[in-house]
Amino acid sequence: MTEASVAATPSFNAGLGQEISAKFPNAGLTYVSNPEHSDEDTFLVAPDAVLEVTRELRRHYPFLMDVCGVDYPERSKRFDVVYHFADHVNRRRLRLKTAVGDGESLASVTSVYRAANWFEREAFDLYGVRFDGHPNLRRILCHEDFVGHALRKDYPADRNQSLLTPVDHTYAKDRARMRAEEEDHLSDRVWINIGPAHPATHGTLRFMAVLSGENIEQVDTEIGYLHRCFEKMCESHDYNQIIPYTDRLNYCSAPINNHAWCRTVEKMLNIEVPARAQVMRMILDEFSRIIDHFVCISTNAVDLGALTNFWLGFQAREKVYDLFEKLCGARLTVSLARVGGMGFDLPAGWVEQALKTIEDIEKSHYELDLLLTKNRIFVRRMVGAAPIDADLAINWGFTGPCLRAAGAAVDTRVWDPYYSYDQVDFDIPVGTRGDSYDRYMVRMEEIRQSCRILRQLLPHIPSGPISVDDPSIRLPRKADVYGNIEGLMNQFMLVIHGVKPKAGEIYRAHEGANGELGFYVVSDGSGRPYRVKCRPPCFAIFQAFPEMLKGQMLADAIAALGSINIIAGELDR
C-alpha cells in the first residue's frame, strides 16, 4: 500500500503556460515545475496580470481552493500572494504566485471565482494586501478596531488586542453599512440579528438578516469569535509541536486534522509512513468522519426542535471516543499522529472493540434513520432549504458533503487518492437538489460507506512498524535513550531542533469530514515552518451562506446553518 498522488501532467501545465504567455506577453509568466511532485507546478506572474491569467485558468481549473499571503519583509516586493487551483476531472493542481509591495494592490479575482471573496478578505486582514474591485474588502477574522496585520513577520505574536466596542454599536455599524449598499436603503425592512449568543449559532457565529415579512432579502455574516491565529503560532513551534494545535481545528474529527498535517510535512520530507501506520490512519479517519457526521445531523435536528436523535448520535460518538481513549488516553483532542508515523500502536483487543463499535454505530444510525428521514416535520423543514447547484457550489469553493449534495461526485479520497483509498470499495453519495435535506441524506449515506471501509480494513491491518526508521524524524526508543549515547543524542537533537524539511513550499489535501482540508507550508530549511496556511473546508462553504438564503424563510436559515456543519475552530483557526 503506497501513497498515491495527483496524476498531474507537467507537460500540460507547461503547455498551458506557453499558451497564456503567447496570449498575454506582458504577463511576465514563468512556469516552474517540481520534479519531485508534479502537483506542485507553479506559475509566477506579474501583479497586474493576475486577473487576466486567472480568467484563462478558469477554463481548465474549475476550483480555486485557496488564496493566501506570505511575508518576506526583507524584499522590496514584500508579499507573495498565492492562489491554489484544482481540476478534479483531469486530476491536476496548480499554484499561481505574484509579488506585491507594501501599500500596493492586486485586482480581485472574485469576478472569476466567487471562492476568492473571503480568502482575499483574510489576506487583507492578516497581511494588509489590498484587492481592487473586491465587493466587500474589510476585516474578517480580526475585529474592525484591530490595529496592524497579525501575520506580518514584524507583528509580535503576544500582542493581543481586545475588542472594546459594545456589541450594540457593532450592530448599528453593520446596519448602516448594509443600508448604504442598497439603492432603496431597505427602509421598510425588518432587521434581525442572530447570534453569537443564540442556540442556532452556538456562541461562535453572528449573522444579520434583512426581512421582508418572513422572507430573507439579504444576509450579512460575521465570524472570528474563535480566531486564535493558529497560523501565527505555527511559526514559533516545530512541526511535531503543531500537532496538538491541529486537534483544535475541527475538534469534532481531530485525528483527520492530525493526519492531514503530518501528511503535508511528510511530503516535504519526501517520505512515506509504513503500511501499518497508513491503515491505522485510514481507520481513525473513517471513525472520525462518522462521529463528525453524527454531530452535524444530531445538532442540526436539535436546532429544529428534535432531541431524541441527539442522544442516539452522541451515544455512538462516545463509543468511538472509547476507542480513541484506549489507543492514546485522550478522547476529544487526541494528538494521535506523529510526523513519520503514529504516536501509539494498537493495544490488545482494540480491533475487536472497533468491530463491535461499528455494530453500535449501525444500530444508532438505523434508529436515527427511522426518526428523521421520513419524519414529516423534519422533511418539510429541510427540503428546499438553502439549495445550491453544482456549478455554483464549485465556483464558491465547496467541497465535501455540501458539494456532493449539490450533485458533484467530488471526493479527494478518489480523485487525489492517498494511503490505500484506491484499494477499498466505497461509493460516493450525491444529491440532486443541493438543499438541506440532501446534505442530511449525503451524510447519512457517508456514515454507511465509512462503516463499509472500516469492515474492509480492520481484519487486514498490516504488521510491522508504525513509524519510519529514521533518527532525524522519529524519536528513539526509551531503551536507546537511556542505554546508549547515540540514542540520547538523537533524542536531544530531535526535541531541541525538530525535523527539518528542505527549503521549499508544499500544498497537500486531505478529505476532511467537511471537505478538502489542505495545508500550504513554506519551509526555510529550519525546524520551524516559515509559513503555514490552513485551507479550512467550511470557510469556503460559509461564505456562500448569504447567497443560499436569498428568498428563503427565516426558519430556513436555521435549518441550513446546521446542515452545512460550520465548525468554528476550523472556520476561524
Report yes or no: 514 and 541 within 8 Å, Cβ to Cβ.
yes
Distance CA 302, CA 197 (A): 16
Cis, peptide link before residue 196, omega less than 30° from 0: yes
What is the reported pLDDT for 122?
Answer: 94
How many other CB atoms sit within 10 Å of the CB of residue 422? 12
Cell numbers found for residue 132: 481592487
In a domain, 217, yes or no: no
Domain containing residue 490: 230-572
With respect to residue 55, please indicate whether it lies within any of the assigned structural domains: yes
Residue 50 located in a structural domain: yes
Give pLDDT, residue 60.
Answer: 93
Which pLDDT value is given to residue 470? Answer: 83
Beta partners for 509?
A: 518
Q: Which domain-ending residue is among 70, 100, 132?
A: 132
Of the residues 132, 165, 182, the one at which a domain ends? 132
What CATH number did the domain enclosing 307 receive?
1.10.645.10
On whether both 364 and 481 belong to a single domain, the answer is yes
pLDDT in tens, the chain (573 residues): 445 555 555 688 888 888 888 888 888 888 888 888 878 899 999 999 999 999 999 999 999 999 999 999 999 999 999 999 999 999 999 999 999 999 899 999 999 999 999 999 999 999 999 999 999 898 999 888 888 899 999 998 888 887 776 656 566 777 777 776 665 555 677 888 887 877 777 778 888 888 888 888 888 888 888 888 899 999 999 999 999 999 999 888 999 999 999 999 999 999 999 999 999 999 999 999 999 999 999 988 888 888 888 888 888 999 999 999 999 988 889 999 999 899 899 999 999 999 999 999 999 999 999 999 999 999 999 998 989 999 999 999 999 999 999 999 999 999 999 999 999 999 999 999 999 999 999 999 999 999 999 999 999 999 999 888 887 788 777 777 787 887 777 777 777 777 889 999 999 999 999 999 999 999 998 989 999 999 999 999 999 999 999 888 888 888 898 898 888 889 888
Q: Where on the phi/psi map is residue 94: left (φ > 0), alpha (ψ -120 to 50), or beta?
A: beta
- Choose among 403, 560, 549: nearest CA to 86: 403
pLDDT value of position 146: 86
State which H helix or E strand residue 510 sits in: strand 504-512
**Is residue 66 one of the residues assigned to a domain?**
yes
Task: Please say which residue of 105, 132, 159 terminates a domain.
Answer: 132
| 529 and 396 part of one domain | yes
Kindly state whether residues 300 and 434 are assigned to the same domain: yes
Residue with cell 461562535: 204
Q: Has residue 312 been placed in a domain?
A: yes
DSSP 410-477: --HHHHS--TTGGGS-------SS-SHHHHHHHHHHHHHHHHHHHHHHGGG---S-SB-S-TTTSPPP
**DSSP state at residue 385:** S
The pLDDT value given to residue 167? 59
| Same-domain pairing of 270 and 125 | no
The single-letter DSSP state of residue 553 is B
**Taking the C-alpha atoms of 54, 58, 62 and 66 in order, what is their torsion angle to the nearest 10 degrees?**
0
Same domain, 121 and 235: no
Grid cell at residue 510: 486531505
In a domain, 33, yes or no: yes
Q: What pTM does this model have?
A: 0.90
Q: Are residues 413 and 539 in the same domain?
A: yes
**Residue 404 within a domain:** yes
pLDDT of residue 186: 55
Helix, strand, coil percentages for the chain (3-state, nearest 5): 45, 15, 40
Number of domains in the chain: 2
CATH label of the domain that carries residue 115: 3.30.460.80
What does the pLDDT read at residue 445?
96
Give the model's pLDDT for residue 163.
74
Q: Is residue 353 part of a domain?
A: yes
